[in-house]
Amino acid sequence: MSRLIVISNRVSAPRPNDPKGAQGGLSVALAAALREYRGIWFGWSGNKVDEFTGHIDLQRHGGVTTATIDLEEQDVDEYYNGYANRTLWPLFHYRIDLAEYDRSFAGGYERVNERFAGTASPLIEPDDLVWVHDYHLIPLGAQLRERGLKNRMGFFLHIPFPPSRLMVSLPFHEGLVLSLLAYDVIGFQTEEWLESFRHYVERELGGRCEPDGTIHVGDRSVHAAAYPIGIDYQEFCEAATSERSTQAYDRLKKSADGRHTIIGVDRLDYSKGMEERFLGYRRFLEEHGDCRGKLFLLQIAPPSRGEVHTYEIIREDLDELSGRINGEFAEVDWVPIRYVNQGYAREDLAGFYRASEMALITPLRDGMNLVAKEYVAAQDPEDPGVLILSRFAGAALQMKDAILINPYSKDEISDAIHTALTMPKEERIRRWQAMNESVKNEDVVAWRRAFVGALEGAGKG
Ligand code: GDG
């Protein structure tokens, strides 16, 4: 069997009970995918050095071999904080108003991708399968090919692919998308993002897309398809019934004191629609005065990307908004929003999900959203909670039995909370069973098998 070489921006060794949490969906999923596979996980260590040396730190953690490199401060500023998180992240989440285009960012992005290619290529043997992840590393495949690699190579995009009309606002967009064609397999989370990619290929690159997923541009033919990512279902169910999880469950239930808990768990990111969520919840409190004091919103939002200015602003905005709503509605013995800016261990999260009668997940745009799937997996089958989910999350395409809402509409959020509060138990069970089936069957193992299977079947590049 070929080895699997996974390459992503950050490598984080599996630490299921890291109390700081907030590893992000990608690293949680990749650790799970690699555990069962012989191979290497290559990427940035997260450390900065004065001068880039290309030194590779090889380690083995929890059944996974990791190979990491350190980057220079300028690399991190231009490539990670710059092009990846200030240019591509907002653009790919349809926020061209927030996207910044700076020549130095684009230069740093190319440079770091070259550094990845230069240091990773000696580790790659001719028969290895190479699987590159996410928007930080789009040109990496092309740069590995320039170094003579003929391996089968795949790329998976964890975030949405924007519609062509937005994509063209990126300077030199053709070069970026053309570089994707160096891969043999290109994977997207949903049919919707795939459709945007195919549209771009036909309209901007003059390519041809066949119904079986083959894409032809010039003399290059590649396979592009949707591979919806899932959670490690078994691991999460075990986490949800562990001793630690039970303690977390008891802690939340005790402090809820008979009130209903609405839970939200998100990295502090504008794409997650937390401001819209708070405003929708506020509308609910206005419209249903009789429900005040009977429920509360627990929003867990560990900080992320602290060095990017937009993230400081969202943090300030949410601090202010939650404070304002609490000031407006709180009573001496009740606070409507418990807003927590820290991460928790996965087992604690699982207990909190299980103890919550409802989850309110309202991203304005999200590649998939694993929190929605984790919430379902953690529920008590005899008395499950209700999932309220944005129709703009990739997960909504698989979880049609959630209450699907438009996160921009305060009214829809308010109505959905009311529907969830009054939903009969039989309906909660019916909806949960349907969602649980899909979360269980379309898990991270199925995702990895589908993608790696397509890569194994691909012609050598
Ligand atoms: C990207 C895409 C796509 C959050 N807080 C804590 C914590 N988390 C964990 C959650 C979940 C993960 O982080 C978040 O995953 P999401 O999928 O919701 O979102 P992104 O981080 O934006 O991930 C996304 C994903 O990649 C995978 O392809 O679904 O669309 O944007 O696992 O549980 N974990 C712990 N403590 C926390 O406080 N331990």
> pLDDT, tens digit, for every residue of 380-405?
999 999 999 999 999 999 999 999 99
Do the Cβ atoms of 233 and 197 come closer than 8 Å?
Answer: no
**Which of these is catalytic: 93, 136, 158, 223?**
158
pLDDT at 461: 44
pLDDT digits 0-9 by tens, 65-83: 899 999 999 999 999 999 9
The minimum-distance atom of ligand 1 relative to the CA of 229 is 28
Which residue, judged by its Cα, is nearest atom 18 of ligand 1? 369
The minimum-distance atom of ligand 1 relative to the CA of 374 is 33
Q: In a mutational test of the pocket of ligand 1, which residue from 131, 371, 389, 392 has the highest number of ligand atoms less than 8 Å from its CB?
A: 371
Q: What is the mean pLDDT of residues 265-289?
A: 97
What fold characterizes domain 4-230+444-457? Answer: Rossmann fold (3.40.50)
* Distance (Å) from CA 313 to ligand 1 centroid: 21
Q: In a mutational test of the pocket of ligand 1, which residue from 23, 136, 157, 188 has the highest number of ligand atoms less than 8 Å from its CB?
A: 23
* Distance (Å) from CA 32 to ligand 1 centroid: 14
* 95 or 11, higher pLDDT: 95
* Distance (Å) from CA 414 to ligand 1 centroid: 25
Token digits of residue 258: 């008979």
Residue 116 has pLDDT above 60, yes or no: yes
* Distance (Å) from CA 344 to ligand 1 centroid: 12
Bridge partners for 264 per DSSP: 299
Which residue, judged by its Cα, is nearest atom 5 of ligand 1? 22
Which residue, judged by its Cα, is nearest atom 35 of ligand 1? 21
* Distance (Å) from CA 177 to ligand 1 centroid: 26
Q: In a mutational test of the pocket of ligand 1, which residue from 267, 298, 340, 344 has the highest number of ligand atoms less than 8 Å from its CB?
A: 267
Token digits of residue 103: 């020549």
Domain ranges in the chain with CATH number 3.40.50.2000 = 4-230+444-457, 233-440
Do the Cβ atoms of 3 and 129 come closer than 8 Å?
Answer: yes
Q: Among all chains, which residue has been given the structure tokens 């604690």? A: 348
Sheet holding 295-300, edge to edge: 337-340, 295-300, 260-265, 358-361, 386-390, 403-405
pLDDT at 307: 74
Do the Cβ atoms of 218 and 174 come closer than 8 Å?
Answer: no
SS3 358: strand
Nearest to 314 by CA among 288, 339, 292: 339
Q: What is the mean pLDDT of residues 160-182?
A: 97
Which residue, judged by its Cα, is nearest atom 7 of ligand 1? 22
* Distance (Å) from CA 353 to ligand 1 centroid: 14
pLDDT at 23: 55
Residue 435 has pLDDT above 80, yes or no: yes
SS3 250: helix
Active-site residue flag, 158:
yes
Q: What is the amino acid identity at position 165?
A: R
Q: In a mutational test of the pocket of ligand 1, which residue from 265, 269, 272, 339 has the highest number of ligand atoms less than 8 Å from its CB?
A: 265
Active-site residue flag, 366:
yes
pLDDT at 9: 94
* 99 or 29, higher pLDDT: 99
Q: In a mutational test of the pocket of ligand 1, which residue from 368, 447, 451 has the highest number of ligand atoms less than 8 Å from its CB?
A: 368
Which residue, judged by its Cα, is nearest atom 11 of ligand 1? 25
Q: Among all chains, which residue has been given the structure tokens 């989440």? A: 93
Residue 62: how many other CB atoms lie within 10 Å = 12
pLDDT digits 0-9 by tens, 3-57: 899 999 998 765 554 544 445 556 666 776 677 677 899 999 999 999 999 999 9
The minimum-distance atom of ligand 1 relative to the CA of 367 is 30
Do the Cβ atoms of 370 and 231 come closer than 8 Å?
Answer: yes
Chain-wide mean pLDDT for the chain? 93
The minimum-distance atom of ligand 1 relative to the CA of 231 is 32
* Distance (Å) from CA 160 to ligand 1 centroid: 15
**Which of these is catalytic: 232, 366, 415, 443?**
366
Distance CA 204, CA 224 (A): 17
Q: What is the mean pLDDT of residues 222-232?
A: 96
Do the Cβ atoms of 452 and 144 come closer than 8 Å?
Answer: no
* Distance (Å) from CA 226 to ligand 1 centroid: 19
pLDDT tier, 306 (very low <50, low <70, confident <90, very high otherwise): confident
Which residue, judged by its Cα, is nearest atom 6 of ligand 1? 22
Domain at 233-440, CATH from 3.40.50.2000, 3.10.580.10, 1.20.1440.230, 3.30.470.10: 3.40.50.2000
Distance CA 146, CA 199 (A): 27
pLDDT at 13: 64
Token digits of residue 335: 């606070």
Which residue, judged by its Cα, is nearest atom 8 of ligand 1? 22
Which residue, judged by its Cα, is nearest atom 15 of ligand 1? 25
Among 18-22, 313-317, 360-364, top mean pLDDT goes to 360-364
* 238 or 87, higher pLDDT: 87
pLDDT at 266: 96
Share of the chain above pLDDT 70, in %: 95
pLDDT tier, 334 (very low <50, low <70, confident <90, very high otherwise): very high
The ligand 1 site (C-beta within 6 Å) comprises 21-26, 28-29, 158-159, 229, 265, 267, 300, 302, 343-346, 349, 366-371, 374
Do the Cβ atoms of 276 and 413 come closer than 8 Å?
Answer: yes
pLDDT tier, 312 (very low <50, low <70, confident <90, very high otherwise): confident
pLDDT at 29: 64
Share of the chain above pLDDT 90, in %: 84
* Distance (Å) from CA 21 to ligand 1 centroid: 10
pLDDT at 20: 42
pLDDT tier, 129 (very low <50, low <70, confident <90, very high otherwise): very high
Token digits of residue 390: 């944005």
**DSSP code string of 417-449:** HHHHHT--HHHHHHHHHHHHHHHHHT-HHHHHH
Residue 170 has pLDDT above 70, yes or no: yes
pLDDT at 460: 47
Distance CA 325, CA 265 (A): 19
* 36 or 204, higher pLDDT: 204
The alpha carbon dihedral of 166, 172, 178, 179 has a sign of: negative
Distance CA 385, CA 375 (A): 9
